[in-house]
Amino acid sequence: MLARWNRWLQNHSRWAGALLCVLTFVVFAGTLACQFVFDDIPQILQNPFITNLSFWRRIFLGSVWSFRGAGEHDNFYRPLQFLTYWLLYRAGGPNPALFHLFQLLLCAVTVGLVYRLGRKLLHNDLAALAGALLWGLHPQHVEPVTWVSALPDAGAAAFSILGFLLFLRAERAATGIASYALAALAYLPALFFKESALSYPLLVLVYWFFLPGSSTWKQKATHWLPFAAAGAAYLAIRITMLGGFSAGPGVWKISRQTLMAALGVLGQHAKLFFWPVHLSAFRVLELGPSLRSIWPWLMLLGFAAALLARRQEPILGFLICWWGVTLLPCLDVRLVSFPVADRFSYLPSVGLSLALAYLCLVKLPQLFPLAQLAPTLAGLLALAATTCAVEDVRLVPTWGSNEALWSYSLRASPNAAIVHLFQATLLRTRDANAVGAEQEYRTALRLNQASVRPLAGLTYECYLGLGQVAQMRGRSPEAVNYYENAVRVAPGHSPAYKLLGALYFPHGDYRKAAEYFTTAVRLNPQDVEVRFFLGTCALKLGEPRQAVAQFRAARQVDPTYIQAYEAEARALEVAGDTAEAARVRALEAKR
């Protein structure tokens, strides 16, 4: 029976692949109704590199958060993520449905690529279909499919799989290095979507370890050069733009604690693949319980079994190691904010999905050739696919809005500091609940300090929030103290200086406010609100020309900022330049 189904699929592989893509689209179609949430808002709606047509070159010149100023140092150089946003913004403006549609189509096409990959690796269309179906509908993938800011994971996976497909074609065609160069060229965009794609050249070596083929290792070294060159080119560009490989100190000094944390993360990712319950974007790594669980040790045992059975089961061994190799860049807790995020498993789980399908639909029937086994396996497959699809449909709305996301995350990850941080922000801004907000901010500080890797940025945001709560209560000295604590935590970040300036501004202390606003502008020249405040201070202090410079800079960053045009015109009139004021008002009228 299984053989008959397999033959049918061999004759209808294109239809099967198309059906997989359509099924993925239908199951995740609810994402089209989702709004921008969490990082989507600053990275798209508040990002002048996206909203301003003329700033597109800056996308390539810094890290992911560089639009917030030079003080925002991070490890993420992902220009294709923001170039995609820039193009989508040009096509449809700040319309979340368009961004979600693009990402959904990309993920649906990637499911088709996984099916093709499975056909080439497993030489069994039924197992390839089952593996691709499991991968496409796995509940862990709700996050990378539904969250716009997970585009780096979706883009890196798509181009990595495409590159590996072309690599396999080059292996079987034996046409020379040009075919391998084409595969490397197809893989190259993955690096500029997400740096974790650096594991790809290692994946090629692991493939050769398990399936050496007929070529010599000298020939393999030649064939591997294009992939090494792609990685080297990316690293050269990355180091040039970021000023180094990593913003984190001591990245090459790996301690025992770092290794133990990596083992705990490995186990948690394995557990979530085989038992995807209580999924959350902000899951906390509890190192002790993770290491005491069976999961990290099972995976180490699995890797050992794959190595020992290399000659008997090379495909199965390679697919298990695919998971470990592609997950490797995400195991260092020093370099990631949320080490057990579902999106990190998007590409790695290709290996486990295909391995599981191969084991169930190829190896088990060989070991137990029972006639009744085929319908049983088919029934289990249908049940698993249906269960996954139902869970996907249930989880997609949790990404529908910030309120829905934080409400769900608070239930799923009650020990996550960042969830309490944003719950506090909702209580402060939406409900004007100062008491509840303060309690949540302090909870977030406590949980962050107790975590495996305390985040300075989270501490910074908590101090800002506590300062704003103090302002709500009319306690200005207390607010100043919190803002100054934030400055000590991250002196290169601008928001604390902005809030300090805004604290003095309403009281008429324009000189003191201007000092803080000047620092904020120096750290983040793209903050139009700070420039407007600084320009207003200059005007109040009798410095109209300086005011003009700030208002002009604000409208150049955001050409739709109408208030800046009017303020600049007034400042020009105060400075006695009525002709230039009339020209600026004419520009305003065209907006």
Residue 545: pLDDT over 90: yes
Average pLDDT of the residues in 9-32: 92
Map tokens 């604690």 to a residue: 257
The model's pLDDT over 175-199, given as tens digits with 9 standing for 90+, comes to 789 999 999 999 999 999 999 999 9
CA distances from 483 to 35, 436, 495 (A): 31, 20, 9
Q: Are residues 149 and 291 in the same domain?
A: yes
- Phi, psi (degrees; rounded to nearest 5) at 81: -60, -50
Average pLDDT of the residues in 448-471: 94
Q: How many other CB atoms are found less than 10 A from the CB of residue 378?
A: 16
Residue 148 within any structural domain of the chain: yes
Residue 248: pLDDT over 70: no
Average pLDDT of the residues in 40-67: 94
Residue 370: pLDDT over 70: no
Average pLDDT of the residues in 555-561: 94
Residue 523 within any structural domain of the chain: yes
* Maximum mean pLDDT: which of 218-222, 527-531, 584-588: 527-531
The model's pLDDT over 97-130, given as tens digits with 9 standing for 90+, comes to 999 999 999 999 999 999 999 999 999 999 999 9
Q: Are 420 and 455 in contact (CB under 8 A)?
A: no
Q: How many other CB atoms are found less than 10 A from the CB of residue 578?
A: 11
- pLDDT of res. 374: 64
- pLDDT of res. 334: 81
Residues with Cβ within 8 Å of residue 234, at least 6 apart in sequence: 188, 191, 192, 198
- pLDDT of res. 1: 65
Residue 499 within any structural domain of the chain: no
How large is the angle between the packed helices 13-27 and 96-122, nearest 10 degrees? 140
Average pLDDT of the residues in 407-424: 94
Average pLDDT value over all residues in the chain: 93
- pLDDT of res. 485: 97
C-alpha dihedral (306, 311, 316, 321), degrees to nearest 10? 40
The model's pLDDT over 58-94, given as tens digits with 9 standing for 90+, comes to 999 999 999 998 777 778 999 999 999 999 999 999 9
Map tokens 């109209």 to a residue: 544
To the nearest whole percent, how much of the chain has pLDDT over 70?
Answer: 97
Average pLDDT of the residues in 19-46: 96
Structure letter (DSSP) for residue 453: S
Of 395, 419, 442, the residue at which a domain comes to its end is: 395
Q: Are 417 and 458 in contact (CB under 8 A)?
A: yes
Residues with Cβ within 8 Å of residue 583, at least 6 apart in sequence: none
- pLDDT of res. 372: 64
- pLDDT of res. 247: 65
The model's pLDDT over 254-302, given as tens digits with 9 standing for 90+, comes to 788 888 999 999 999 999 999 998 899 898 888 889 999 999 999 999 9
Residue 455 within any structural domain of the chain: no
Q: Are residues 167 and 294 in the same domain?
A: yes
- pLDDT of res. 371: 59
- pLDDT of res. 251: 63
Q: Are residues 388 and 534 in the same domain?
A: no
CATH of the domain at 570: 1.25.40.10
Q: Indicate the pTM of the whole model.
A: 0.94
What confidence category does residue 350 fall into, taking pLDDT thresholds of 50, 70 and 90? Answer: very high
Residue 435 within any structural domain of the chain: no
Of 395, 422, 439, the residue at which a domain comes to its end is: 395
Residue 349: pLDDT over 70: yes
- pLDDT of res. 338: 83
Instruction: Name which of 114-118, 249-253, 478-482 the model is least confident about.
Output: 249-253
The model's pLDDT over 338-348, given as tens digits with 9 standing for 90+, comes to 888 999 999 99
Residue 571 within any structural domain of the chain: yes
The model's pLDDT over 133-186, given as tens digits with 9 standing for 90+, comes to 999 999 999 999 999 999 999 999 999 999 999 999 999 887 789 999 999 999
How large is the angle between the packed helices 510-523 and 495-504, nearest 10 degrees? 160
- pLDDT of res. 71: 72
Q: Are residues 513 and 389 in the same domain?
A: no
> What is the domain extent for residue 214?
27-246+273-395
Residue 484 within any structural domain of the chain: no
What is the number of structural domains in the chain? 2
For residues 541 and 248, which has the higher predicted lDDT (pLDDT)?
A: 541
How far, in Å, CA of 494 to CA of 71, rounded? 8
Of 362, 395, 428, the residue at which a domain comes to its end is: 395
Residue 551 within any structural domain of the chain: yes
